[in-house]
Structure 1
Amino acid sequence: MHRSPTAEAEVAGELAALRPDLAARYAAELPGARAAVLTRLWRALTHEPLPWIERREAAGDGAVLRLRDGRRVHGPAPDPYATGAYVTAVRLDEVAYEDPARLMADLAVPHGTEFARELGHSVASMALSRAGQPAGERAWPARDWEWEQRVVDGHPYHPGCRSRPGFSVAEQLAYAPEHRPVVGLGLLPVPGEACLVTGDWPADLRDGGRVLVPVHPWQAAHVLKRPAGERLPGRPLMSLRTLALPGGPHVKTALSARLTSSVRDISVGSVAAATALSALAEELADDRLHFTRTLGAVTDGSPELAAVLRESPEVYAGAGERVVPVAALPGTGLPGEPGWAAEFARLALTAGLRLLERGVALEAHGQNLLVVLSATGAPLRLVYRDLADIRVSPARLARHGIRPRVLPELPARVLTDEVTALRRKTFGSLVGGALAGVTGSAAALRAALESVVRDLPDTPDLAALTGEPLPVKALTLMRLSPGTPGDQWTRLPSPLV
């Protein structure tokens, strides 16, 4: 077995100095973290259009990948919808690897060296995240940000699920939600005439003619390189750069670090369009699907200094109800109860396909999509947050007699009538992300969907979902193609065929 000790040893060394009480638990969590990341990498190797893989073959109870240079990679039979760590080792020719970083490095493919480093960070950070969890059973949280802390492993399918390059161990412990910190946001004063402000920026975030922009302390130290003070306590949410403020609102801050796939800046265009997108969502909301409203957004004209303030999803919970991010549902035990996954799939597909038919494709993965649960755990309604990456079809809206007054204010990048783009956005996130992540395997996803799709309205979108391979983002291909902008896609075997 081969292991790359670099990232793991670096974290172990920092941890020994900062939190020696976690050192033994961190070491014990490393094998499981390697398997979790290797499972995600094996999914990519077996299903993404990676140019250096010539063909894929079944081999007994496993699979063989034939590389263009003649080498072979052997591993277990792939399940593209599995979320458990079922891959503990794969073989490159006759050498077995349990460490995904070492495997990627030894594949020696274009841009693989940098990606191997990210995988090493992902393993080490995941082990650190797991080591920091409290032992024993925990009661269901009472606050929205407490649910966010339950998502320890990050993205269920991205091999870089916990990669946080540029974050020291001390910074991960201080800023990452799974470590349960309170983060002191800086408030950087910017002259009002130098800012773009949309919506109603609150009076308590103003100082005379100056606008006080919330700044993440990592951003202040590493990017802006100027002190911003610590005056606003926040609880970090799943995305790390978005925090729950006292009193309920959430603030999304600029964080110019690569987390998973993207650098988390906030573009000037996103600030300009924030309240228009929010107004469009309000027009399309119904009693099954709510959207968190954007209260205000601000930028000084650069993506490195900007913030978006939006309401908490908690405002859509009634007495005795809880609002839970879909990514946190596996930790509740609910998906394993008889009929629960099908009930949730019915709610999610009904809302998502109805909105797609009307002209809006949501990126409804497990982070953006939340579910309102009854006191007994039944899924009642959905809440969607962060509208920056939706797609809007003017033609579909018009076909249904919907002419939003804010349509001329929407940025060109979110407008498209291309059917493939709209379906990719909806199916890839809602089915390939949210529902697959909750059910956890191809068999469980199929069982949840089969009992639902026959009762849905018969539309061309539904026919595409049930009769064609499922489009999902090719997450590893994207990381190995730094010169190719935008999303790249692959198609997974349909869970319904």
Structure 2
Amino acid sequence: MPAMHPRDGVGEAADAYAAAPLLNCLLREVAEPAAESEGPGGRRVYRLPAGGRLLRVRGGRRPAEPELCTAGIWQRLSHAELVKLTAEELRRHTGLSNSELPTEMTDSRDAVAAILSAREGLTPPPDPYRRSEQSLITGHPYHPAPKARGGGPVAGWLPYAPEAYADFPLVLLGLREDAVAEEGDTRALDALGEAPPGYRLLPAHPWQLDLVGTRPEIREAFADGRLVRLGRSASPAWPTAAIRTLYVPDADLFVKFSLDVRITNDIRRLWRHDLLELRHTDEAVRSAFAAEGGSAAWLSDRGYRTADFAFEELAVLVRDGLREQVAPGATPLLAAALTEGFEGSPLDTLTDPAAWWTAYLRQVVPPVLTLFARHGVVLEAHLQNTVVAVDTDGMPVQALFRDAEGVKLLPDVTRAAGWERLVYCLVVNNLLEIAGALGERYPGTELWAPVRRELIRCGRGLRLPEVEELLSSPGLPGKTNLLLRWTGADGADARYLPLPNPFRTTNT
């Protein structure tokens, strides 16, 4: 997270927050190191190969203060100037033009400014789990536009923004029984309100209903009585970091909706093909967790309900809540929040960061590797799909995983492709980011020997040959979100480039 001071204006702060992930992408995917450092503060210098220009930044997990060398003079770049520079370099680098992504980058920065303004004077929510889910101002640290909200007016999305500590009631619709399409266990939805005879309750996200409610097929359904408005839910819901997934605390229930807005790489709709695969995927994961036992838990996507005339647009997915899944006395926290920081983060008060790190690895790594080795399940164990529960001393005692939509099963994908995805999500997106946050707060902490020891321990116990290959590999798969978006590739079409493997040569 960029270092901010009270005197900094919202615009300057928004520039810094938005520049950090964009620089991370540009430096990882395109730029080449030109010198270790130059000038005060150990600034790192990079060459942009297509244009031959030199870029200098203050280094670290979240690079800052970009400067371009022009006529031998270093000139500070605003976020708008950085966007322009990035677009020019990518046009030369790829031979392709893209007017959409620069707009998204600007939208992302403007969204951060709106969020920062909305937060002024607000008190963070008292529940530490909710604070963790609603803490992500930077968001994905390796995406060029992690906070873009589809370019719509602020008034359209800010009331539903987790980063602004939003909570709100659900819109309750009545869906005529002959128009219902559903699968799995959706009974929890019926407890959110009361539908009239001949109808089933269909909760809707108010933002999504604003986006799609005027489409002809939905207008016609309201006109002919297949859909009726029943008001709002009595219990409020609040958005998690995923934005379209809400938690209803009174019901201890997560509900995930379609959202016809591009967030990071994808339009966040519950696509028909994913919904039709949901039960098969979720049952495979639930069975694998049940077979293994232990403290790790899976938040099951129990089922979905929707309208047959607006199958994707009005879909709602039902997901397990936390109370029956979290270990007694433990406090759940979103893993992504540990890398950004939030009030009450256990990383702020550690007396033994090495012990904390060892405990985190022991909770998070074994379940992911075990499900792959014994059940052919590839969890999407990145930071936003991992919840770590901590005891009263802040020590990790349990890991919980979620989101069947992101799970892959062997042999639906090849073993090699599944392993690469596992390593990206678990190691690059999750462990390397947590390690970076720890190393930043507690310099000198040994980070990589514990990772190596845990991988060796699990790999031997599971007889997983891929672990040995990982430990000896010079590179790790880094996802290329900037190039993926610039070239217009499908968001699910992950492309990787090798990153240095920091635990390759660590002694154990």
TM interval, shorter chain, is 0.7 to 0.9
Q: 1:490 to 1:314 in 2, by over 3 A?
A: farther
Q: CA deviation at 1:122?
A: 1.5
Closer/same/farther in 2, CA of residues 316 and 448 from structure 1, 3 Å limit: farther
Corresponding residue number in structure 1 for 2:324: 315
Structure 2 counterpart of 1:42: 23
2:182 aligned partner: 197
- For residue 324 of structure 2, give the secondary structure of its aligned residue in structure 1: helix
Alignment of 1:168 with 2:184, yes or no, is no
Answer yes or no: is the 8 Å Cα contact 2:58–2:65 preserved in 1: no
Superposed, 1:286-305 pairs within 5 Å as 286-301=293-308, 302-305=311-314
Q: Give runs of aligned pairs for residues 422-433 of structure 1, distance below 5 A.
A: 422-433=418-429
What is the deviation of 1:290?
A: 0.7
**CA distance change for structure 1 residues 357 and 364 in 2, over 3 Å: closer, same or farther?**
same
2:226 counterpart residue number: none
Q: Contact 1:104–1:113 at 8 Å: present in 2 too?
A: no
CA distance in 1, matches of 2:147, 2:76: 20
CA RMSD of aligned residues (A): 3.0
Deviates more, 1:93-102 or 1:172-181: 93-102
Q: How many residues align?
A: 442
Kindly, what percent of the aligned residue pairs are identical? 24
1:234 aligns with 2:237: yes
Q: Compute the displacement of 1:77 (Å).
A: 7.4
Residue 489 of structure 1: aligned partner: 496
Q: Which runs of 5+ in 1 are unaligned?
A: 1-24, 395-414
Superposed counterparts of 1:125-204, under 5 Å:
125-133=111-119, 141=127, 144-202=129-187, 203-204=190-191
Are 1:466 and 2:471 matched, yes or no? yes
Measured after TM superposition, the shift of residue 277 of structure 1 is: 2.2
CA deviations over 1:130-167 (Å, ceiling 9, x no partner): 3433679969625x434312333322322212111234
Match of 1:184, as an amino acid?
P
Per-residue CA distance 1:388-424 (angstroms, 9 max, x = gap): 1111114xxxxxxxxxxxxxxxxxxxx21231x1122
Q: Give the Cα separation in 1 of the matches to 2:208 and 2:421.
A: 30
Q: Does 1:211 align with 2:200?
A: yes
Q: Given the superposition, is the C-alpha separation of residues 92 and 119 from structure 1 closer, same or farther in structure 2, using an over 3 Å criterion?
A: farther
Q: Is the 8 A contact 1:101 1:116 kept in 2?
A: no
Q: How far does residue 291 in structure 1 lie from its aligned partner after superposition?
A: 0.5
CA distance in 2, matches of 1:483, 1:173: 29
Counterparts of residues 42-441 of structure 1 (less than 5 Å)? 42-48=23-29, 50=30, 56-61=32-37, 62-68=44-50, 70-76=51-57, 82=61, 84=62, 86-91=63-68, 93-94=70-71, 96-106=75-85, 107-108=87-88, 109=91, 110-133=96-119, 141=127, 144-202=129-187, 203-204=190-191, 207-225=196-214, 230-232=231-233, 233-245=236-248, 246-285=250-289, 286-301=293-308, 302-329=311-338, 330-331=341-342, 332-335=344-347, 337=350, 338-339=353-354, 340-358=356-374, 359-394=376-411, 415-419=412-416, 421-440=417-436
One-letter code aligned to 1:426: L
SS state at 2:256 partner: strand
**SS, match of residue 65 in structure 2:** coil
SS in structure 2 opposite 1:297?
Answer: strand
Structure 2: state its 5+ residue gaps: 1-5, 38-43, 223-228
SS at match of 2:484: helix
Aligned-partner Cα distance in 1 for 2:323–2:502: 33
User: Are the counterparts in 1 of residues 452 and 503 from structure 2 also a CA contact under 8 Å?
Assistant: no
- Which amino acid in the other structure matches residue 110 of structure 2? A
Task: Output the TM-score relative to the length of structure 1.
Answer: 0.80
Amino acid at match of 1:98: L
> Tell me, what secondary structure is at the counterpart of 1:239?
coil
Partner of 2:3: none
SS of residue matched to 1:462 = helix
Deviates more, 1:374-383 or 1:197-206: 197-206
Offset of 1:367 from its aligned partner? Answer: 1.2
The alpha-carbon deviation at position 255 of structure 1 amounts to 0.5
**Alpha-carbon distance in 2 for matches of 1:26, 1:121:** 24
Deviation at 1:426, TM superposition (A): 1.2
Whole-angstrom CA distance in 2 between matches of 1:38 and 1:441: 18
